Structures are given as C-alpha cells and as structure tokens.
C-alpha cells in the first residue's frame, strides 16, 4: 500500500506551506488523483485519517477531498485524444499503438483551506 507514503509526502508539503504562511490549522485539502495513478481512493482516505491525527503539526482533523482526473491518451498517428481506460494503448480511431498518456497519472494538491 503506497498510499501511506503518498499521504506522508502530501502532509509534509502542506505542513511546510502552513509554516511559511503562518497558518495555525489547515481545515481541508483537495487533491487531484489520476484515474490510472495506481492510488486507491479508499486506501488514501484511510491513510489520511490516521496520518493527519498522528503525523501532522497543522492538520489535526483535516478533511481530504479527492477529485479523480480521467485518463486521456494522445495518438501520434491520427492526432486525436481518447479515453485511456476503455481503450488502453490502442487508438480507437485509427488502431495505432503510437499513443501516450497526457493526463490521468497525476497526484496534485489542488486546494488548501485554512481556519481563520
């Protein structure tokens, strides 16, 4: 379960941002999680709930919001984009395998809400 390592990294980043901005408590964090990022949202939430209680200086009880980013691939042969999950690496328009992922593998902090 690599979600715990991801959570620790995100908490570290948010704690640093809170320190730099003299924030006493972070209330919510919104993450964008790619559809094919290999992160399981349920595990991420479980790890988050434990970690913010035990491992964070500024985030006790902080809520986690997850936004899933759909996986999209680009075909170099026909220059079209398509949804990756139902089609994999084969372009549904021209059948080419000369494709690459353009979104859906990311894990990014989208928003941090703080208490006044």
pLDDT of residue 102: 98
Beta bridge partners of 82: 73
Torsion angles phi and psi, residue 58, rounded to 5:
-115, 5
Beta bridge partners of 72: 83, 103
The rounded distance, in Å, linking the Cα atoms of 52 and 108 is 18
Average pLDDT for the chain: 95
pLDDT of residue 1: 52
pTM of the model: 0.86
Report yes or no: 114 and 23 within 8 Å, Cβ to Cβ. Answer: yes
**Structure tokens that stand for 44 in this block:** 């991420």
* Domain locations along the chain: 3-114
Report yes or no: 52 and 60 within 8 Å, Cβ to Cβ. Answer: yes
pLDDT of residue 18: 93
Percent pLDDT > 90 in the chain is 91
The rounded distance, in Å, linking the Cα atoms of 26 and 114 is 4
The CATH architecture assigned to 3-114 reads: 2-Layer Sandwich (3.30)
What number is the average pLDDT over the span 35-64? 93
């Amino acid at each position: 379960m690599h979600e715990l390592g991801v959570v620790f990294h995100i908490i570290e980043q948010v704690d640093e941002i809170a320190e730099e901005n003299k924030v006493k408590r972070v209330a919510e964090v919104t993450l964008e999680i790619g559809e094919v990022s290999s992160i399981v949202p349920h595990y991420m939430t479980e790890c988050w709930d434990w970690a913010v209680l035990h491992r964070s200086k500024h985030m006790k009880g902080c809520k986690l919001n997850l936004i899933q980013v759909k996986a999209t691939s680009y075909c170099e042969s026909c220059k079209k984009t398509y949804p990756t999950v139902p089609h994999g690496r084969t372009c549904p328009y021209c059948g080419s395998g000369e494709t690459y992922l353009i979104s859906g593998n990311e894990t990014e902090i989208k928003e941090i809400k703080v208490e006044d």
